[in-house]
Chains A and B, each alone.
Chain A
Amino acid sequence: MVDLLAAIPDPAGGCAFLVHVEIERKAPTNIGRRLWDYSIRLRGRHPEPSVSLVVFLRGGPPGPAWQAYTEETAGHEVARFRYLSFGLSRFPAEQLLARPEPLARGLAALAKPGALGRARVKFEALRRIASAKLRERHRFLLMNCVETYLPLKGRDAEEYASLASAQEPSEIRAMQVTWADKEKAKMAATITATISGEDRGGG
């Protein structure tokens, strides 16, 4: 099953093209071949052309780049398939934080902290997510991404606490409350479901 298949609308109400997205935890060596294989299968099922994009959470070429997978037969190139890759872990977090797209602030959590350091990256990502004009559900997803992929401990946690206490804007404080409330709500729902299950089971 493909990870995501998006139909990009055309002005007439149809589909201009498809975007196929694969999400990979690390960069496998055979990804070009796999995407080409998917592309052929998609083309067999859909009249629209498609573009393939692979997002590498770890490894892979840093940042966005067009890649090519080629097939040769008897020394001749007989097929060339181009696809987009987006490697996060080696891409500077600073570049993502500088982007205007809110998604970039969430993805900064997986990027290379560089001279900024993990604490500063987390602080800046959360600050920018908190102040962005976003639907609350989208804000929560971005916060979840940062909290999940950029946990801090030791000196990083101390530095983050220092940044937050010194400069913490009201938006971050509000988001931290929201985050904590949702975590509590999730925990309460889990406990309720467990108790309910035990009751039904006669426990």
Chain B
Amino acid sequence: MPPHDHLFKSLFCALFRDLLLLVDAELASWLSPEAEVEFRDKELIPDSPEAEHGW
């Protein structure tokens, strides 16, 4: 996995509510500051042929 990807994944996991607040406050309102977000980062979905992250 490219190092950039790791950095942003770590950042967004650590400050996930911040990310939601930045993109859509209404969406973020579903998540209280104390709530624990479960990350299902082991989720495997085969990439579609068009998949290209531009790394």
Decide whether A and B are members of one complex.
Answer: yes
Complex Cα spacing A7 to B39, Å: 6
Q: Which residues of B contact A195 (CB under 8 A)?
A: none
Residues of B within 8 A of A164 (CB): none
Interface residue SS majority, chain A: mixed
A199 to chain B, nearest CB (A): 27
**Of B8, B30, B40, the contact of A23 (CB 8 Å cutoff):** B8
- B44 cross-chain contacts in A, Cβ below 8 A: 1
- CB of B45 within 8 A of CB of A42, answer yes
B41 close to A4 (CB less than 8 A): yes
Are A16 and B8 CB-contacts (below 8 A) given A38-B45, A101-B22? no
- Determine the chain A residues whose CB is within 8 A of the CB of B47 once the complex forms: 1
A17 and B10 alpha carbons, distance in the complex (Å): 21
**Bound CA–CA A57/B50 (angstroms):** 19
Contact with A along B9-43 (1 / 0, CB 8 A): 11111111011111110010011000111111101
